Amino acid sequence: MTISTNAQNVMLDHSKAKVELYKRYLSIYLNILSKADFVSKVFLYDLFAGEGKYANNELGSPIEAMNSIKNHYFANGKKIKDIKFHINDSGISKIEPGKKKIDRIGELISEIFTPPNVKVVLTAFEYSDIYPEVEKEVRSLKAHEKALVFIDPFGYKEIKPIELRSLFLSKSVEILLFLPISFMHRFSEKALNDEDYTEGKALELFLRDLFMNKPPQITSVHKYIFDLKCQFQNFLGSKYVDSFSIQRDKSNVFSLFFLRIVNWDFKR
């Protein structure tokens, strides 16, 4: 069987860097929460979870997250907060044609030690179908429950800033959102100004939502990222928004946005 080497089945360096950032963030998150006595349960979501393991044997986000959970459990005296880890991907594997990506993930996870109070839920829904469920669950979190939502689509078409904002009604949630900045930057002006550019409709809606009809700064990719960050702050009503840029080459910059509504001060 011949497997083509594209970013969907071979993990490229920028994806590796992204997963490394997520994994480190999750380790720190679990560590901090383990010290907060009032936190009783943690909800983790990986809503575009991928292949699990790439054709070049690199591990994707859900597997690295499970490794972080396992490592935290053993480093923390075999203790961990109750966790529900919801992993979702609607795709069919490019590496094992005919098999659902989520089934590959399930097989890989079954080989990793899972602490007894960690429950893994695997689903293969379209994001638009699973999002309302996630929103319902997150918005009904109690004060002693926390949630971390990792959103790593191939593009941004499914992502609606208004939906992200509605998750923040909970105050207990944080979101890690990965966006293909160069692509968005390149097509922003056309998407906002050319009515005949139908392929740009999703980008136009994303920008109109987020920028509340003001045009984004497009003089450079880095100004664009800064403007996105400021707009997330305005739109969510939070100063706790940050971004980390990953550059694959001159014309391919990506950004991981850290969106949070409250600071880590554990005020309830």
Ligand X SMILES: C[S@@+](CC[C@H](N)C(=O)[O-])C[C@H]1O[C@@H](n2cnc3c(N)ncnc32)[C@H](O)[C@@H]1O
Among 90, 182, 188, 217, binds ligand X (CB under 6 A): 90
The interface region with ligand X, picked from 48-56, 194-202, 229-237, 243-251 by CB under 6 A, is 48-56
Q: CA torsion angle for 103, 96, 126, 42 (degrees, to 10)?
A: 40
Among 55, 91, 108, 222, binds ligand X (CB under 6 A): 91
**CB of 106 vs ligand X, minimal distance in Å:** 14
The yes or no reply on residue 158 touching ligand X (CB under 6 A) is: yes
**CB of 38 vs ligand X, minimal distance in Å:** 31
Minimal CB distance to ligand X: which residue? Answer: 91
The yes or no reply on residue 60 touching ligand X (CB under 6 A) is: yes
Q: Are 52 and 102 in contact (CB under 8 A)?
A: no
CB-based contacts of 241: which residues, under 8 Å, 6+ apart?
229, 232, 233, 257, 258, 259, 260
**CB of 89 vs ligand X, minimal distance in Å:** 5
Detail the DSSP E strand segments found in the chain: 41-46, 82-88, 118-123, 145-151, 173-179, 241-249, 252-260
The yes or no reply on residue 109 touching ligand X (CB under 6 A) is: no
Beta bridge partners of 45: 86, 149
Contacts to ligand X from residues 209-268, by CB under 6 A: none
| Nearest-angstrom CA–CA distance, 210 and 93 | 33
Q: Are 181 and 253 in contact (CB under 8 A)?
A: yes
The yes or no reply on residue 48 touching ligand X (CB under 6 A) is: yes
**CB of 165 vs ligand X, minimal distance in Å:** 20
The yes or no reply on residue 25 touching ligand X (CB under 6 A) is: no
Nearest to 44 by CA among 19, 66, 75: 66
**CB of 12 vs ligand X, minimal distance in Å:** 11
Binding residues for ligand X (CB under 6 A):
19, 48-51, 60-61, 89-91, 101, 126-127, 152-154, 158
